[in-house]
Amino acid sequence: MLNSVFKKLMAAYVAIMIISFLILGLLFSQLTGSYFFQRHESLLLEEGNKLNDMVIAHLNGRISAERLNLELQAVERFLNTRIWVLDRRGMIYGVSSNEKQWIGRQITEKEMLQVLQGSVIVKKGVFDAEWKVPMLTVGMPIIINGRVENALIMHSPLYEITDAIQGVHRIIWIAMGISFLVSTLIIYFVSKRMASPLRAMGVAAERLAAGDFTQRITIDTEDEIGQVTRTFNGMAEKLEAIEENRRSFIAAVAHELRSPLTLIKGFVEGILDGTVEEKDQRKYLQVISKEAGRLNKLTANLLDLQKMESDQYPIRIQVFDINELIRRTLLKYDEEIERRNLEISLGLEGEKLMVTADRDAMEQVLTNLIDNAMKFVENRGAIELTSKAHMQRAWITVRDNGMGIPREEQPSIWERFYKVDKSRNRNKEGTGLGLYIVKKIIDRHGEQIRVESEVGKGTAFTFTLPLAEVRE
């Protein structure tokens, strides 16, 4: 039944309102009843004190019996109250109404006799079998010279008080009913407004699960629901970016695989069907071997990429000489350096510069940076590798005098498969993963790498490593 947030909110709010209104209604009813009874009791006591003075004046001969009767009748009409005057024996000798049958009757009720003993009494209930109507009875002693000489008994029917109380109760409950209806309407719209973005979020989540990453929720509030909605939209944007990256990644991988495979397939078919002459076969086989090596390198990079992005790429920190690693890494390029007549210069600080890092990972960083320099430097160009210690860090730089990178493209060079050479010139071979992997490795070490480049003058990549003396 309560299968939605809206219904649960409505049920909870309505239950709270019903309980609150019932408690408030009962409390107001109780307070109202007590107020009316106390107010009427106070009026009876106040008028009783006035009549007490009148009876004393009559007993002292200052006013006549007729005047006393007129006062009793006036109070009776004002308060709808029967008034008796009793002597010391409990005999009624004065009444305010025409019910003369009570004159001469002796009162024997215990509470009434307490009045003749000097007590003021207040009693609710049926006074006598002849009166079926519940009464509010007030008894007051009339004291002369320190002695109780007479008593005053006042009977006021409760139906007038209860009628007034019921009228007030009716108004209270009607007001509460109207308030309940208005509150229910307000809560209905508030609950619907609160539940609306949650429903929209559910629909959007289903569409996201189906692959539609363009879903967004429009809501303009600063409360918790607004925060959740903005978080959801942020998540959707990230998922859309991830999906876009995935598609770009697949397209880039397909492109990088298709190009060498197409060359290999074409040259192999040419050799097999005799299109390529025997004297040219060695040249084409060398191209095939080169493209196969490029495929192997791309596969290795993809495996490294997968490990890095799944946090499975191991970082084994050790102390080693970064200067020696730079020299050993350069040895792998002796043949190409000689063939292209490149100028290589080393500016290494000291004979040794000990650092703490993953040696194999740093070798891959140096290899990728040198590959990048080799790729974009012209024949007879210059490549410089330097190392220096500064601020408890080793600063390693790979610099070339190649074509350079436009300033607007420099922030993008760390992206997967990004190539500055948009035309993908075959002379500028590469997978587009080298710098991305470099950045990942340096980030995993908690260090930094930066690029400085100017079109037509060259590029310099500088990264940092902690000196061995810093980490013991």
Per residue of the chain (472 residues), what is the pLDDT tens digit?
Answer: 565 666 777 777 788 878 887 887 788 777 877 777 788 788 888 888 888 888 888 778 888 878 877 888 888 788 778 888 888 888 888 888 777 777 888 777 777 778 888 888 888 777 664 566 788 888 888 888 888 888 888 888 877 777 777 887 788 778 888 888 888 888 777 777 777 777 777 788 888 888 787 878 777 677 777 777 788 888 888 888 777 777 777 777 777 777 778 888 888 888 888 887 888 888 888 888 888 887 887 787 777 777 776 666 678 899 999 999 999 999 988 888 999 999 999 999 988 999 999 998 999 899 999 989 998 899 999 999 999 999 899 999 999 999 999 999 998 888 877 766 544 343 445 667 889 889 989 998 999 999 999 998 999 999 999 999 744 4
What is the structure's pLDDT at 424? 39
Q: Which residue has the tokens 């003749």?
A: 116
On whether the pTM is more than 0.75, the answer is no
Question: Taking the CB of residue 188, how many other CB atoms lie within 10 A of it?
Answer: 15
What is the structure's pLDDT at 311? 65
| The domain made up of 243-307 is a member of CATH 3.40.50.1970 | no
Query: What is the CATH architecture of 5-163?
Result: 2-Layer Sandwich (3.30)
CATH 1.10.287.130 domain extents, the chain:
243-307
What is the structure's pLDDT at 180? 81
**Which CATH code fits 314-466?**
3.30.565.10
What is the structure's pLDDT at 398? 96
CATH 3.30.450.20 domain extents, the chain:
5-163
